[in-house]
């Protein structure tokens, strides 16, 4: 099952204000211009280009509460989330507060299988056992109206730090720091949760400095740059847009990792993933480190991941990282089984559809689906079929939980809000972003929700939006398929969501091909007189016609390192076999 695919070459935006250096490689210049980067300062990633924390609404009030709590040595409790952004946010808050002299800092992360997401009244009951004076949410809280009310009733002050989109009604917290709340002047609306708490900690350090706190305690002011490894990991893993501000923090975090100055937990996760910290890229964070950290929250308890990030020595960090690696392997096996189950449902769905056409949106439920892995499966199906996809798993008490992934053109949280408004009571709860969301409903209402959601998608999506589009940066000549350009492109990032890694298209002669690792296609391709290795992951040639002599590919030019040798390699994102 595939969808029509349109390949579009990005158009470089050139105007009179374009002042990129003449010395810049012309292909890199073309790539930058196609991403709206037309000035050298937009490529700079030094910390003095970061947006000031003073732009964030309510941040002064939030850190005033925290500063007073530190002076009184009150009990601080961090309430985190069970994904990589939540884990890095939590670890950063704990480390920074302790470095600033807080003696009573603990954290609590809801187990997704027992409590669900965010600061709920149930989590407040658990939190009360720790007798906190102040609760600080990280990467959650903006929708926790009932939870904040419960904390207020218990006499616990609440500071919310979050980046998720707020609803019309906000929780009655002491302070809310979220760049996406109405009227917030902060220029970047794309901070991850870890970015928000980083800014809060920077502001707290400034206020404590003004109060003479560090001199009073006789401790050194923490260097906030030391926490940027956590910011980089959480930002990339949460797939937020890498605008200039986020690219600065990610680039600085990567630089610390490459210098061996990351926390032991991140270095250990890189090691068990088989990645050299000296050459780490944002792709390594997104596809290797992030999934291992996320595996704790998906299959067990994210406290495992947080403790890895809080480790102070490599020995302890490696032990925890190995457990996370084992969990990630287990997650892969579960995901593969779920994908096979989903394929059966999709095949039946396609057979029932009129004209063998896919509906505008997909909803899948199986009582055997694992709640911790449904988000990954939804993302895989969305990528494969280019449809907004929600995958549901049983969640006890006749409820099912769904994880949604969307495509450009459908703001998934807004679509769910439309469903909830038109059909009161159908959704027990929901929340999320433009491209990802979570929801809960009664199992008996699945068929009704499915029909309503597909109808909503039909209203919001036109035929063009339902066609898969691959954006590329044109073609490369045979002479450009070299290691030097591959390294130039790798070092020109960080690349990621909203600042896409360069990819190119071309037709190549197929010289050799073979399946490796059962699911991947390894090829040797020829362009002119140049031979280049290529690999297409999760792709085989089992259904190809017999006489394939050429291929049309969209690829990324990358560096392959094997047995001490470094060569250019094509990482194939789209592959179409061609006959002679």
pLDDT (tens digit per residue) in 410-445: 999 999 999 999 999 999 988 877 888 999 999 999
pLDDT in tens, 204-245: 999 999 999 999 999 999 999 999 999 999 999 998 999 999
Quote the tokens at residue 219. 């401790």
Do residues 85 and 117 lie in contact, with contact meaning Cβ atoms separated by under 8 Å? no
Percent of the chain with pLDDT over 90: 84
* β pairing state of 468-472 and 530-536: unpaired
Please report, for residues 243, 510, 556, 560, the alpha-carbon distance to residue 523 in angstroms, rounded to integers and kept in the order given: 35, 7, 14, 14
Q: How many CB atoms lie within 10 A of CB 496?
A: 22
**Which residue in the block uniquely carries the two structure tokens 């700079």?**
44
Question: Which secondary structure element, helix H or strand E, spans residue 165, and what is its range?
Answer: none
* 363, 449 Cβ separation under 8 angstroms: yes
Sheet containing 134-138: order of strands:
105-108, 76-79, 134-138, 157-161, 175-177
Domain 353-468 has CATH 3.10.580.10: no
Each residue of 14-43: pLDDT tens digit? 766 668 888 999 999 999 999 999 999 999
pTM here is 0.91
Q: Is the peptide bond before 494 cis (omega within 30 degrees of 0)?
A: yes
**What per-residue confidence (pLDDT) applies to 44?**
94
- At a CB cut-off of 8 Å and minimum separation 6, what does 223 contact? none
Please report the pLDDT score of residue 15 as a whole number.
Answer: 65
d(CA 181, CA 433): 13
Instruction: Give the H or E element holding residue 483.
Output: helix 483-491
CA–CA gap between residue 577 and residue 555 (Å, rounded): 14
Q: How many Å apart are CA 388 and CA 404, to the nearest integer? A: 7
* pLDDT at residue 19, as a whole number: 80
Q: How is the chain split into domains, by residue range?
A: 51-326, 353-468, 470-579
**Distance in angstroms (rounded) separating the CA atoms of residues 137 and 193:** 10
Choose among 394, 405, 407, 379: nearest CA to 440. 394
Q: How far apart are CA 144 and CA 280, in angstroms?
A: 37
Q: Is the pLDDT of residue 349 over 90?
A: no
Report which secondary-structure segment, H or E, holds 148.
Answer: helix 145-153
| Residue 540 three-state SS | coil
| pLDDT in the model for residue 358 | 85
CATH topology of domain 51-326: inorganic pyrophosphatase (n-terminal core) (3.90.1640)
pLDDT bin (cut points 50, 70, 90) of residue 2 is: very low
Helix (H, G, I), strand (E, B) or coil at 414: helix
Least Cα distance to 310 among 326, 321, 300 occurs for: 321
Band the pLDDT of 332: cuts 50, 70, 90: very high
pLDDT tens digits, one per residue of 393-411: 998 889 999 999 999 999 9
Class of residue 25 by CB neighbours under 10 A (exposed 0-12, middle 13-18, buried 19+): middle
Cβ atoms of residues 265 and 316 within 8 Å: no
CA distance 417 to 549: 50
184: left (phi over 0), alpha (psi -120 to 50) or beta: beta
Residue with more model confidence, 251 or 82: 251
Tell me which fold the domain 470-579 belongs to.
Answer: OB fold (Dihydrolipoamide Acetyltransferase, E2P) (2.40.50)
Spatial CA neighbour of 529 closest among 511, 512, 514, 547: 511
User: Could you count the other beta carbons within 10 Å of the beta carbon of residue 216?
Assistant: 11
Helices (H) then strands (E): counts for the chain: 18, 17
In tens, the pLDDT along 469-520 reads 999 999 999 999 999 999 999 999 999 999 999 999 999 999 999 999 888 9
Q: Look up residue 541 and give its two tokens.
A: 């040639």
Four-residue CA torsion sign, 117, 118, 120, 122? positive
As given in the structure block, the two tokens for residue 458 are 């039909």
Q: Are 248 and 46 in contact (CB under 8 A)?
A: yes
pLDDT in tens, 119-140: 999 999 999 999 999 999 999 9
**E strand or H helix that includes residue 157:** strand 157-161
C-alpha 440/C-alpha 426 separation (Å) is 9
Q: How far apart are CA 495 and CA 342, in angstroms?
A: 31
Q: Residue written as tokens 């992951």?
A: 537
Neighbours of 516 (CB within 10 A): 10
Q: What are the residues facing 555 on neighbouring strands? A: 504, 572
The chain-wide mean pLDDT, for the chain, equals 94
Rounded to whole angstroms, the maximal C-alpha distance in the chain is 79
Closest by Cα among 539, 541, 506 to 7? 506
Q: Which helix (H) or strand (E) holds 4?
A: none
């Amino acid at each position: 099952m595939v969808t029509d695919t349109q390949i579009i070459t990005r158009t470089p935006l050139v105007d009179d204000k374009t002042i990129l250096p003449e010395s810049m490689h012309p292909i890199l210049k073309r790539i930058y211009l196609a991403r709206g980067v037309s000035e050298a300062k937009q490529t700079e990633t030094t910390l003095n280009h970061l947006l000031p924390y003073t732009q964030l609404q309510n941040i002064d009030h939030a850190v005033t509460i925290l500063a007073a709590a530190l002076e009184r040595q009150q009990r601080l409790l961090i309430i985190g989330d069970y994904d990589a952004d939540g884990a890095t946010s939590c670890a950063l808050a704990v480390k920074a507060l302790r470095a600033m002299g807080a003696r009573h800092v603990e954290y609590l992360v809801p187990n997704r299988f027992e409590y669900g997401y965010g600061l709920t009244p149930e989590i407040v009951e658990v939190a009360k056992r720790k007798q906190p004076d102040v609760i600080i949410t990280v990467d959650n809280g903006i929708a926790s109206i009932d939870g904040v009310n419960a904390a207020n009733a218990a006499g616990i002050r609440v500071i919310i730090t979050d980046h998720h989109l707020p609803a019309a009604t906000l929780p009655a917290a002491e302070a809310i720091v979220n760049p996406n709340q109405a009227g917030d002047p902060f220029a970047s609306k794309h901070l991850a949760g870890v970015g928000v708490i980083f800014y809060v900690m920077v502001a707290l350090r400034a206020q404590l400095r003004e109060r003479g706190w560090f001199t009073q305690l006789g401790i050194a002011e923490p260097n906030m740059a030391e926490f940027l490894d956590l910011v980089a990991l959480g930002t990339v893993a949460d797939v937020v847009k890498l605008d200039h501000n986020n690219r600065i923090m990610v680039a600085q975090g990567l630089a610390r990792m490459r210098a061996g100055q990351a926390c032991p937990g991140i270095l250990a996760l890189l090691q068990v993933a088989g990645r050299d910290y000296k050459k780490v890229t944002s792709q390594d964070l997104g596809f290797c480190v992030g999934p291992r950290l996320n595996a704790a929250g998906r299959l067990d308890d994210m406290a495992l991941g947080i403790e890895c990030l809080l480790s102070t020595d490599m020995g302890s960090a490696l032990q925890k990282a190995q457990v996370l690696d084992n969990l990630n392997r287990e997650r892969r096996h579960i995901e593969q089984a779920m994908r096979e189950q989903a394929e059966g449902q999709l095949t039946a769905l396609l057979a029932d559809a009129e004209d063998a056409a896919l509906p505008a949106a997909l909803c899948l439920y199986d009582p055997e689906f694992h709640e911790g892995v449904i988000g990954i499966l939804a993302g895989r199906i969305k990528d494969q079929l280019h449809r907004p996809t929600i995958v549901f798993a049983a969640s006890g008490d006749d409820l099912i939980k769904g994880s949604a992934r969307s495509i450009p053109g459908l703001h998934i949280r807004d679509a769910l809000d439309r469903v909830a408004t038109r059909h009161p009571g159908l959704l027990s709860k929901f929340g999320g972003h433009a491209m990802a969301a979570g929801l809960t409903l009664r199992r008996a209402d699945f068929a009704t929700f499915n029909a309503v959601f597909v109808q909503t998608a039909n209203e919001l999506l036109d035929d063009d939006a339902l066609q898969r589009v691959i954006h590329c940066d044109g073609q490369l000549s045979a002479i450009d398929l070299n290691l030097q350009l591959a390294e130039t492109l790798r070092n020109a990032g960080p690349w990621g969501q909203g600042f896409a890694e360069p990819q190119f298209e071309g037709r190549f002669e197929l010289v050799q091909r073979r399946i490796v690792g059962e699911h991947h296609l390894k090829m040797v391709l020829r362009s002119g007189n140049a031979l280049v290795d290529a690999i297409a992951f999760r792709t085989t040639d089992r259904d190809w016609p017999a006489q394939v002599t050429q291929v049309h590919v969209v690829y990324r030019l990358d560096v392959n390192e094997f047995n001490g040798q470094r060569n250019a390699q094509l990482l194939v994102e789209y592959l179409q076999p061609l006959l002679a």
